[in-house]
Amino acid sequence: MQANRIDLSLALKFALREMRGGLSGFYIFLSCIALGVAAIAAVNSVSDAVNAGIAERGREILAADIRFERDNEALVGDELAYVEGLGTMSQSVTMRSMTRLPDGSDQSLAEVKAVDGLYPLYGTVISDPAMPLDAALSRNDDGRFGVLVAPLLAERLGLAAGDTLLLGNAELRVSGTLEQEPDSLSEGFAFAPRILISRDALEASGLVQLGSLAEYAYRVRLPASAPDPNAVKTAAEEALPDAGWSVRVSDRAAPALSENVDRLSEFLTLVGLATLITGGVGIANAVSAYLESRRRAIAAFKCLGAPASMVVAIYFLQIMLVALIGILAGLVFGAIIPLIALPLLSSLLEIAIPAAVFPLALLIAALFGLLTAIAFAIL
């Protein structure tokens, strides 16, 4: 055996032979590696799953292929004509206002969303009791417009179907509760419970006046022959650079949620790395204790003429094999944990999140675990 050459196959053979006695002394090592890898794998898998769910249901979350928004000023003239020319367009107005009971006994702030007859272009509004949206928001014989109220607002004001709710100058008939709004995720954070009314009801309320704080949204369903929504967005921004609108497409339907998920993922990944690094002390101690217990075997290798590099290779490979066992255990738990957590997230976010294994998330976790094991064991 040459001193300047390491026979890796022979080193691996000796390493495997040394491991025939089991993993005694490596349980702390294994638990430190497995815990950190599982945390990183689970966090990144959940993040990838949420983003995949948002991308998969982008049209329903946005209720359109592309949406134009402008604050406090409706589109008119060439701007409105341009958006109308892109495809089927649905308009809505969102603002905050106080709602109150007819006898004046109670009132509450509400997020008012006024929609037209084409809303939503994708997805479905679900109410309780179930009914078509146009029927829920229509004006009945007594002159009251229909309204769907969020369950929280109905509970707060003690509202039931058929009751009257005042909004500005308009009397609204409570048709039911708003159980699901397809584009609620894309609307961002709501400061108050939602109520859904028609554009005619908003006009009757007299709330939209000069200086009113309102957000005007124009949702467009593109024809089948239209180019990619991102190309439509780019063309619109180039055609009307001074329109002052924000444009969102279906593959970025809920950017605020995606950014929050990514930030949380990065934070929890750092927590997982901290776990790995903290566990690195345990790894170093476990490796040190193990090598101390193998002094006689190491001396035997030296007596038989094994160079120092061969002895280092034997025990390094052995420790890496143990690390791989811990990493594999962590990856298994990291893949299973999201499958348990995703149904709960799906119900909270009201989107279908695919239950799947995300190889990139697992690969990143395995890489972090391997590098940590090498860094704390090599010395």
Per-residue pLDDT reduced to its tens digit, 125-161:
999 999 999 999 999 888 899 999 999 999 999 999 9
- Give the pLDDT mean for 272-289: 74
Task: Kindly indicate the confidence band of residue 2, based on its pLDDT and cuts at 50, 70 and 90.
Answer: very low
More confident position, 41 or 31: 41
Q: Whole-model pTM? A: 0.68
| Residue 295's pLDDT band (cuts 50, 70, 90) | confident
Q: What is the pLDDT of residue 257?
A: 66
- Amino acid 348: pLDDT: 67
The three-state DSSP-derived secondary structure of the chain is CCCCCCCHHHHHHHHHHHHHHCCCCCHHHHHHHHHHHHHHHHHHHHHHHHHHHHHHCHHHHHCCCEEEEEECCCCCHHHHHHHHCCCEEEEEEEEEEEEECCCCCCEEEEEEEEECCCCCCCCCCEEECCCCHHHHHCECCCCCEEEEECHHHHHHHCCCCCCEEEECCEEEEEEEEEEECCCCHHHCCCCCCEEEEEHHHHHHHCCCCCCCCEEEEEEEECCCCCCCHHHHHHHHHHHCCCCCCEEEEHHHCCHHHHHHHHHHHHHHHHHHHHHHHHHHHHHHHHHHHHHHHCHHHHHHHHHCCCCHHHHHHHHHHHHHHHHHHHHHHHHHHHHHHHHHHHHHHHHHHCCCCCCCCCHHHHHHHHHHHHHHHHHHHCC
- Give the pLDDT mean for 214-225: 91
User: What mean pLDDT value characterizes the chain?
Assistant: 83
pLDDT at 199: 92
The amino acid at 264: L
pLDDT in tens, 336-357: 888 887 777 776 666 667 677 8
Domain ranges of the chain: 8-57+257-377, 60-252
